[in-house]
Amino acid sequence: MNKIVECVPNFSEGRDKKVIEEIRKAIESVDGIELKDIDMGTDTNRTVVTFFGEPQKIEEAAFRAIAKAAELIDMSKHKGNHPRMGATDVCPFIPVNDVTMDECVEIARKVGKRVGEELNIPVYLYEYAATSTERKNLANIRKGEYEGLKEKLKDPEWAPDFGKAVFNPKSGATVIGAREFLIAFNINLNTLSKDYATDIAFELREKGRTVRKGNIEPFYFKGKLLKHEKGKFYCGSCDFIAKTSDELYSHIEKEHCYNGRELYELNDIDIDHLEGQSVKKPGIFKCVKAIGWEIPEYKRAQISINFTNYKVTPPHIVVEKARELAQKRGLVVTGCEVVGLIPLEAIRMAGEYYLEKQGRSKGIPIQDIIECAIQSLGLRDVAPFDIEQKVIGFRKPSEKDLVSMSVKDFNDEVSRDTPAPGGGSVSAFAGSLGAALCSMVANLTSSKSSYENCSKEMIEAAVKAQKIKDELIIQIDEDTRAFSQYMDAMRLPKNTEEEKRVRKEKMEEGLKKAIEVPVNTAKLGLQALEVLLPVCEKGNKNSQSDGAVGALMAFTCVTGALFNVIINLSGISDETYKNEMRNKCTEIYQKACELKEKCLKVSFERIGEKF
């Protein structure tokens, strides 16, 4: 669940596997990059590569790929069916998990600057990274393609965003930008009729549909096309008929039937000469493209959908509407299919939506939320759905990670004569257990009718506790890694004065890292205590002891982590840094003591006994 960015560069080579293999190696030479797909097209002479990683790593991998393509691909010899203007034709960055679009725009600009300056390739920015309206659309930038690029660069209006306005005959130009994640998604119907699938697809998609006369609702694909006539201009959304096109648009804007002229522009209709043109009905959902088709292999028809911005229109909302429209037509949605990949955020939204509809708490482990989404959407209807392979952003710990060990094995590992894992990792584990207990009590409260007055508050507490729990689980391994960095620095040579200086600097860097990690652990433990207090005060009395244990574990997390901070401060020479950390530790500890005491006090009071 780290920060994750997707990169989908398109290279102007789809026939020479050796070239693509070298580009693949360049991408994977950056540690931590996950390459998901390489799609080579012979006719298009183009290859699309999909890979993922953290922001800094994706930035470096993208640059290395573009540099390798510039080295191996000669655009002066390139022929293919797909529009293109450079060896790396386009390179978009897409936010997937815990990353904003602004961050992806910044990555696009950094990579673009390096490509322009270091590789002497003209770079244009597009989509969210575009520097002008004219450059937002990829097709507009690419107009004239490679063959027209030399003349295009002479036009001051088409000066590149990065690099010189000088034609590079070998590499051409590269378009770099940031865009939303595209989800390819199919909805399955219990019919082989393409007409039914197309009919529903046209209702759902943003582009909408043409209106037919003499329809027997809901079979909209029957009947003759309704066209605007002289003196009769139809709204398409209601029964209103205007005498002129201006009157029609006045009605549309006044009644908000749909967004003015937008629908006709979307369908490439001459809005100033509507007479004789088909009447258009607006679609239901924005950022949705859809068609219908038959899949003999599955023995059913599908509504094939592209979600161009799932944050505007998420898949589960469209699925629910499709179920409603299908039922009107005597059909059933049997399930769905994700083609390719889906972001964790999109499937989490779906899982939480269905949990809420069922009156269940959303404060449960992320795996359970995903499973709810899979079952509710029927994502295993026609093909297997492997969470690790299909959900981008869901990270299953490596077998080498401490968190993959059994409790016994972790306990044994701590007990050995090695400095790590030690108190820092154990503190994080204690905190994760405290947050887990908080979620448990909150969920046991929200599900009881006798606690209905605080059900919403308890669900919110469970959701917060799950997030804290997951972050503390990550800290278990982070603490050990941070200490290992310090130990590596200690092993550096110290034979010369220069080696001693470098070793001292690296040791201090390692110590600061070994301090920052437990500080973060302590902050998370404090957050757990903050969430635990109202749970102890209002939660299910039958689980009062569990809330109290949760508070003790969270407090152990805070104090244990802070002990790791103060013991490492002795090795830091930066007095300003040391004083800042001491003050921060004091503040965290005092707050934690106060919250822990409140949790225990209210627990004793509600139980009615003391020891």
Cα 233 to the center of its chain, rounded Å: 44
* 3 state SS of 469: helix
Of 89, 161, 477, 479, the catalytic one is: 479
Of 82, 98, 368, 381, the catalytic one is: 82
82 is catalytic: yes
Alpha helices in 378-496 (DSSP H): 387-390, 407-415, 423-446, 455-490
Encoded amino acid at 213, one letter:
K
Cα 371 to the center of its chain, rounded Å: 18
* Burial of residue 31, with CB atoms counted within 10 A of its CB: 0-12 exposed, 13-18 middle, 19 or more buried: exposed
Cα 454 to the center of its chain, rounded Å: 32
Residue 598 CA neighbour count, 13 Å, CB half: 16
479 is catalytic: yes
DSSP string, 555-588: HHHHHHHHHHHHHHHTT---HHHHHHHHHHHHHH
Give the N- to C-terminal CA distance of the chain in Å, as an integer: 42
**282 upstream amide cis, omega within 30 of 0:** no
CA distance 25 to 28: 5
**218 upstream amide cis, omega within 30 of 0:** yes
CA-closest candidate to residue 309, choices 420, 176, 206 = 206
Q: Where is 184: in which H helix or E strand?
A: strand 183-189
Beta strands in 274-370 (DSSP E): 280-281, 288-295, 300-307, 333-339, 342-343
Residues catalogued as catalytic = 82, 479
